[in-house]
Structure 1
Amino acid sequence: MKTTLHPLLLTLFFISTTVLSQQAVVKGVILNEENEPVVGASVSYGTEGTLSDFNGYYLVEIPANEEVTLTFSHVGHKKVQVTLNLGANEDYELNPVMNTKVEQIATVVISGRERKRVEGITTLSPEAIRKIPGANAGVENLLKSLPGVNSNNELSTQYAVRGGNYDENLVYVNEIEVYRPFLIRSGQQEGLGFVNSDLTSNVDFSAGGFQAKYGDKLSSVLDITYRRPADLSATADLSLLGASVSAGGISNNGRLTGIVGLRYRDNSLLVDAKQTETNFKPRFADAQTYFTYKFSNKFELGFLGNISINDYDYQPLTRQTNFGTIADPIALLVFYEGQEQDRYNTYFGAFKGTYVASENYTAKFIASAYQTTEQEYYDILAEYRLGEVNTNIGDEDLGEVEFTEGIGGQLTHARNDLDALIFNAEHKGTLNIDENTIEYGIKYTHEDIRDRVQEYEIIDSAGFSIRPPIPDLANDQPYEPFTSPIVPYTTIRAQNDVQIDRVSGYAQWSRRTTLGSNDVWLNAGVRAHNWNVSGDGIESTSQTVFSPRGQVSLKPDWDMDMLFRLSGGLYHQPPFYRELRDSTGTVRPGVKAQQAVHIVLGNDYSFKLWGRPFRLNSELYYKSLTDVNPYTLENVRIRYRANNNAVAYAYGLDARLAGEFVPGTESWVSFGYLKTEENIDDRGYIFRPTDQRLKFAVLFQDYVKIIPDLKMYLNLVYNTGLPGGSPSYADPYDYQVRLPDYKRADLGVSYVIVNDDKLRDSGWLKPFKELTIGAEIFNIFDVQNSITNTFVRDVYTKVQYAIPNYLTPRVFNVRLTAKF
């Protein structure tokens, strides 16, 4: 029997279904108390719902013409419920603000910033990074004002943390690890660091005792977040040291965001002011971009790209350095021939996919590739005179060398090439279960390095070629004829083709709980790292290390806002290529991971002073290091011994008082005490190259009360002197003399021509959202700071002098910044 429906019944069924299924749309952006988007918030009614995306945006369809209760929920926030009754096809915008969930007991509110406080992370303002003056302004410039972070070279973006060296610091941009060139030997060659401050929205820094989710380094973590533009905007920064521009925007549907930054740097202004007269042609430029695309409310793909081209042409001409004492002044006068041509080109690209599977689980996938091609070519002949200086006031030749005590020459040669290619593939996951958070990750890294080292140094003193002081070349004249050929004082020749494969991973657990009436935060985790070194002529070697770590934070139920934190664990640094290569250029695959036990006791105290907020952060720390790979430090060049024949320790105190010393501004005062020593081959403890005992720093912002748009920024740093190093072949135990103390003050003054509070009624000012003009004075007291010594021999007195290499004197700069 065949059943049929009457056409009228079909029409009635269609109409009734259409009416019953009429919908309304609710959309908007979910924010927290700090006006930041809440990612992965659940928006639900009944059994239906959706999740907010990476900008806090959500869109949900609800039945029309009936009351519907929408529930907004997110881990760590209070639920928000809203009852709506919308008409058919109505488009309603709702932007709820979710308050932070109360973390019992004692109704303590835990915001995102306070969570970082619990973890011992310092957060820096991107706006302060862009405004604080410095010869190498940027994120690293502001880091150097923090306690425990030391650098005596204003031309370098490298920094040492709590007795570690430049290779012991992790740097992430949007959770992607970034690298720096290998062959850089002086700060003036660096040009640009990786991080572009114009693109930065958040800067977090930890100086030790960090969690297992961060990588395998011994000293610190710098975690940078690049911003997501909410509209079409652009910035420009012009000065005598270079220029930078950036632009960003978002598509109409909000799915695609992108930001691009271009930078150019010219160090001529700073180098031309130094004691060495040169012909100097630096060309440092880079381009960076960060794009994101939302395929759905659950999945987003991001791309981080960087191209950096650095050319360094350097032709020294003359140099005169006066040193010694007032009663016995000595001068080194050098005449140069030759030049240096260096090039460092780096290419970096990374994809990051983020999948918000549910309110409680998020998965991330990261793949990156980094390539650097570097050359270091130079042939420089230096002919020097070492003599007494005329100190007779009124003489025409005051300050000139009037009696030569020694003459000599030095020829340095290098033809160094390096090509490194590094691949990374990584998966991370975060799972929230009630008050527990579980994080894990696994990462594979392949490093392919091709390296040619060919350099030598020939030293001549009073017409005699100086031989290297090694027993095989002992000279027993006139009793025995000396028939050995003439050889350079130092020579390195090596060619390496090395591959390193790494597999690392971590798992950690965090929980918020209570102890009586006090709040407690717990974290425990472990890292594992396996690496294999192979290559031409290299016996394959594999090693594995495990690094357990933990943190406990306690917030007592007191009237004052006080937090105590204890963190630490076992930290390893598996060797990178530079740590595997010894002073002769030979790769030693059996080098072990350096190991350190960290113990960090911290206290954070927030209070009001003069009715304004302040915070005092202090940390006591101790590090015990074993399997230490000793190294020498020359400017920013690190040369390892490529063995693990030392032990070391570091301990100290860091303190920082930050707050509104001037209403509406952020300033701080930092103090650090550090002592770090090493024991090589059980010969006794000596200073490590980064043993910087005392550090004081002040970062101060102010404005003229009657002219608030006229602003001042002051950056003061005082560091006690570092060990001055030792000459080639010398025993470091015989050279424990320190350099002079490092004292520097940089001042910036700016005037805001246009901002949001000032009308842009003039025709040429209309395009600007902000326009600022300013002047900067670097090293305003013209202090002669030094970073290394040049060791010169004097046949007349049979003395080897340590002659300081001075850094930049007082330098003036003008600057113009604009936002469109």
Structure 2
Amino acid sequence: MRNLLLLLLPLFLIQASLAQTATFQGVVLNKDQQPIANVNISLANDSSTGTASNATGFYQLQVPSNQSLEIRFTSINFKPVVIKDLRLKPGEIFEFNPVLDVNVEQFAEVVITNRNTREFRGITTIEPELLRRIPGAQPGIENILLSLPGVNNNNELSTQYAVRGGNYDENLIYINEIEVYRPFLIRSGQQEGLSVVNSDLVRSVDFSAGGFQAKYGDKLSSVLNIDYRRPTDFGAGIDASLLGASAFVEGTAFAKALTAIVGLRYRDNSLFINSRETQANAVPRFFDAQAYLTYQITPKFQLDFLGNIAVNSYDFEPEDRQTNFGTVQEPQAVVINYDGQEEDQYETYFGALKASYDVSEQLNLRFISSVYLTQEQEHYDILARYGLGRPNTDIGSDDLGEVDFVTGIGSELEHGRNDLDALIGTVEHRGTYVFDDGKKESDLLEWGVKVNVENIRDRVREYTVIDSAGFSVRPPFADLRNDEPYTPFSAPLVPFTSIRADNDVDIQRLQAFAQYSSRGYLGDHEIFWNLGARTHTWNVSGDGIESVTQTVFSPRGQFAIKPDWANTDMLFRLSTGIYHQPPFYRELRDENGAVVPDVKAQQSFHLVLGNDWSFSWNDRPFKLTSEAYYKNLSDVNTYTLENVRIRYRANNEATAYAYGADLRLNGEFIKGTESWISAGYLKTEENLNDRGFISRPTDQRLKFAMLFQDYVPNIPQVRMYLNLVYNTGLPGGSPNYADPYDFQFRLRDYRRADVGINYVFKDAQNDSRTFSKFDEVFIGVELYNMFDNQNSITNIWVRDIANSRQIAIPNFLTPRVLNFRLAMRF
């Protein structure tokens, strides 16, 4: 018994010691909501009790309980933060996330500030508050991304985006280190609904348009890295408009060991769809619920849960449409009457569990498991009867704009019964180790291993029947000339296009990466470098599919230097590497719906040169970011792009390239607000089977964008937000089964300006007795496409019997639309 007591005595002493202490922890942030490393945290009256924030800004300090505490946050580059009269209970875990201001020193006209690691890595950071304030037909992160150089999308109803010549499938999206996915069967922007990112939950936004590190994954174009926030107190908010509503609630429990934030969103795009030229009965409704929970089991062990449920329904019954086109001298119009309807349903369920364990101050281990399930149906039968003619141009006529005489007639029947179920399971381990010798900036080693299991069950039933002047048009096979209705054809009638397939596909993936980062000095010049590599092995098999296994290896590197120049604050970057995109399910499926298991990974060599110049003008901070890039692509899987639907040819028969330059100037154009101007040039072409280079579907040559914030000087509660985008026209596509080398014209330029005006009753800068219990209250009016530009995304092709030609009729996007909005937070 005595020996047993001697053995248990240390345990009792440890337990008693823990019972007399509490845990003070959190993440140290700058004003851009980015973590700050190497900030000293200490007790004011006990110099022996202290710690420092690590590379991710996280800190943890054991402090005495039941005592009045004064805790200091100090760093040579930031103004100190002091907490006074803090009293914690025994065993309590108290989270505090301080925001440190830059300690600015001025020498002549040069402002010296601390550069964070993101700038060295070529990552663009976006203030989360902008996601809620900047107007757009699809508000949220994608709306802001389209104002950045090199990011394009000529469809305001879509949340998809193309980066530097890539397509919509070439972008990685992470939320809290967990990769998220989009639905498979979406054909048009008006079916998409909500962004996968809930803006109400966001803490930080990082974006890289190319040359990104090995840890991010295997895609060819970009990375969007989102972190949801951990609340420190109770809060809630609601945002309502004519387009729908969103709400969130957040809070803590169990002495703040448990935190939770839940967001709900509902959207109805009828306001946009009913304003388009096609008269229709449309019911586009989208709903999702997201939750992010954390539980601090011990001071070193934490569990996170991320969940999402999204239900999108799209019912569409078109009635009629008239589109005027042509020139002033030769005006033309197409009048279309519709029968039939479309019923689409997309249901997505996603859940992820993440465990994080701090083995020591230097070593952190994370284990992630996730499940993604999507069930999608796309059912439609739509008969369109069209007539070509000339609209009445007599200004004094009562029939101005109406078609007086029809010169061509025809019809088209589209049928679809497409159903897809996809289940994706993931198990992943990530780790970081910080090398800190106390003499220089910390070096960082990161590694990870990831296993994916994907099962896709896909049923495709599509056909199109075309009738022109009473003759059924057969498909244009290579050995048969297609000249109906001019020459009768006596063979059995067949659809113009027909796709019929049943696929049950299993894909297993094994991915791994390792990378090493270092930040220090070369003489008096601050430098940063990163070297890493990825490997990706995947196997494709399934019912009636031959099993095929392939492996790729991707080395990558970055180098940045900030010269020690007395009067100029400059940063130079170089990023390079090999990037692969192992095929996802859509890339394995050819134009006829069949799965081709031996499709190779597309490969791209990236070279990115960048420069950041930070300066002060009129005592306001500005930064000019410029980047030049070059991509050389091989094993290219060519595709066609119709609205947002991508159909691959499931081949690797092309090579391609992309090069260009991007510029972005951001700063306080209006004192106290951040705005920016972006400009970019891009050229991307592909060479299919050595036939010569032609423009790729995403060859967006010129880009100009502006995101601008302003307020009325004498009435600061009135604020204006402008989101302006100009893109030159994309390649216009071609009729079905046509040779892309025969159709190399472009759509019209895309021009759009959205403006929002808010009146703020209460926020951090404006107090109000009436709304004293709220943190923020504002009402606003938003005018989308305020100049009423007619933008088009695709063409429909009709046959003119009078002159034996096919005519491209533009599908116009949304006109000017007015929206009203109310938002509250407390």
Asked if Structure 1 and Structure 2 have the same fold, meaning a TM-score greater than 0.5 normalized by the shorter chain, the answer is yes
TM-score by length of 2: 0.90
Map 1:595-606 onto structure 2 (within 5 A): 595-606=603-614
Q: Verify the 8 A CA contact 1:569 1:598 in the aligned structure 2.
A: yes
Map 1:460-499 onto structure 2 (within 5 A): 460-471=467-478, 473=480, 484-499=491-506
**Equivalent residue, structure 2, for 1:447:** 454
Distance apart, 1:707 and its partner CA:
0.3
Which residue identity is paired with 2:360?
S
2-structure distance, mates of 1:258, 1:496: 40
Map 1:724-739 onto structure 2 (within 5 A): 724-739=732-747
Q: Verify the 8 A CA contact 1:49 1:60 in the aligned structure 2.
A: no
Matched, 1:554 2:566: no
Matched, 1:774 2:780: yes
Relative to structure 1, the CA distance from residue 49 to residue 135 in structure 2 (aligned partners, 3 Å threshold; closer, same or farther) is closer
Distance apart, 1:31 and its partner CA:
6.5
| Among 807, 810, 818, the residue aligned to 1:801 | 807
Distance apart, 1:399 and its partner CA:
1.2
**Equivalent residue, structure 1, for 2:30:** 34
Matched, 1:515 2:531: no
Higher Rg of the two aligned structures? 1
Q: Verify the 8 A CA contact 2:176 2:227 in the aligned structure 1.
A: yes
1-structure distance, mates of 2:66, 2:147: 57
What SS is found at the alignment partner of 1:295?
Answer: strand
Distance apart, 1:56 and its partner CA:
4.4
**Equivalent residue, structure 2, for 1:10:** none
| Among 671, 691, 694, the residue aligned to 2:699 | 691
Identity, in percent, stands at: 59
Map 1:175-190 onto structure 2 (within 5 A): 175-190=177-192
**Equivalent residue, structure 1, for 2:818:** 812
Distance apart, 1:514 and its partner CA:
2.4
Matched, 1:611 2:622: no
Relative to structure 1, the CA distance from residue 523 to residue 815 in structure 2 (aligned partners, 3 Å threshold; closer, same or farther) is same
**Equivalent residue, structure 1, for 2:439:** none
2-structure distance, mates of 1:241, 1:43: 49
Distance apart, 1:25 and its partner CA:
4.5
2-structure distance, mates of 1:129, 1:611: 27
- State the aligned residue count: 791
1-structure distance, mates of 2:17, 2:746: 81
Q: Verify the 8 A CA contact 2:295 2:302 in the aligned structure 1.
A: yes
> C-alpha deviations, 1:594-632, integer Å up to 9, x for none?
000000000001000110000000000000000000000
1-structure distance, mates of 2:706, 2:81: 44
Distance apart, 1:92 and its partner CA:
14
Map 1:149-188 onto structure 2 (within 5 A): 149-188=151-190
Matched, 1:59 2:66: no
2-structure distance, mates of 1:32, 1:681: 54
Distance apart, 1:485 and its partner CA:
1.4
**Equivalent residue, structure 1, for 2:445:** 438
Q: Verify the 8 A CA contact 2:23 2:299 in the aligned structure 1.
A: no
Relative to structure 1, the CA distance from residue 58 to residue 109 in structure 2 (aligned partners, 3 Å threshold; closer, same or farther) is farther
> C-alpha deviations, 1:102-128, integer Å up to 9, x for none?
9xxx9x9985x6210000000001111
Distance apart, 1:281 and its partner CA:
0.9
What SS is found at the alignment partner of 1:814?
Answer: strand
2-structure distance, mates of 1:565, 1:333: 55
Distance apart, 1:289 and its partner CA:
0.3
2-structure distance, mates of 1:256, 1:751: 36
Distance apart, 1:736 and its partner CA:
0.5
Q: Verify the 8 A CA contact 2:466 2:495 in the aligned structure 1.
A: yes
Q: Verify the 8 A CA contact 2:27 2:53 in the aligned structure 1.
A: no
What SS is found at the alignment partner of 2:214?
Answer: coil
Which residue identity is paired with 2:590?
D
Distance apart, 1:357 and its partner CA:
0.8
Distance apart, 1:51 and its partner CA:
9.2
Q: Verify the 8 A CA contact 1:473 1:484 in the aligned structure 2.
A: no
Distance apart, 1:471 and its partner CA:
3.6
Distance apart, 1:297 and its partner CA:
0.8
- Runs of 5+ unmatched residues, structure 1: 4-12
2-structure distance, mates of 1:427, 1:76: 34
2-structure distance, mates of 1:96, 1:474: 71
Q: Verify the 8 A CA contact 1:28 1:95 in the aligned structure 2.
A: yes
2-structure distance, mates of 1:749, 1:610: 26
What SS is found at the alignment partner of 2:691?
Answer: coil
| Among 304, 307, 327, the residue aligned to 2:306 | 304
**Equivalent residue, structure 2, for 1:200:** 202
2-structure distance, mates of 1:23, 1:230: 23
Distance apart, 1:568 and its partner CA:
1.2
Map 1:230-629 onto structure 2 (within 5 A): 230-434=232-436, 435-471=442-478, 473=480, 484-559=491-566, 560-629=568-637
Q: Verify the 8 A CA contact 2:239 2:823 in the aligned structure 1.
A: yes
Q: Verify the 8 A CA contact 1:771 1:818 in the aligned structure 2.
A: yes
Q: Verify the 8 A CA contact 2:25 2:93 in the aligned structure 1.
A: no
Which residue identity is paired with 1:457?
T
What SS is found at the alignment partner of 1:213?
Answer: helix
1-structure distance, mates of 2:725, 2:804: 38
Relative to structure 1, the CA distance from residue 642 to residue 33 in structure 2 (aligned partners, 3 Å threshold; closer, same or farther) is closer
Q: Verify the 8 A CA contact 2:24 2:63 in the aligned structure 1.
A: no
1-structure distance, mates of 2:797, 2:530: 50
> C-alpha deviations, 1:509-556, integer Å up to 9, x for none?
111232232121111000000000000000000000000000000111
Distance apart, 1:754 and its partner CA:
2.1
Which residue identity is paired with 2:170?
E
**Equivalent residue, structure 1, for 2:230:** 228
Q: Verify the 8 A CA contact 2:257 2:297 in the aligned structure 1.
A: yes
TM-score by length of 1: 0.90
> C-alpha deviations, 1:561-582, integer Å up to 9, x for none?
1000000100000000000000
Relative to structure 1, the CA distance from residue 74 to residue 352 in structure 2 (aligned partners, 3 Å threshold; closer, same or farther) is farther
Q: Verify the 8 A CA contact 2:506 2:540 in the aligned structure 1.
A: yes
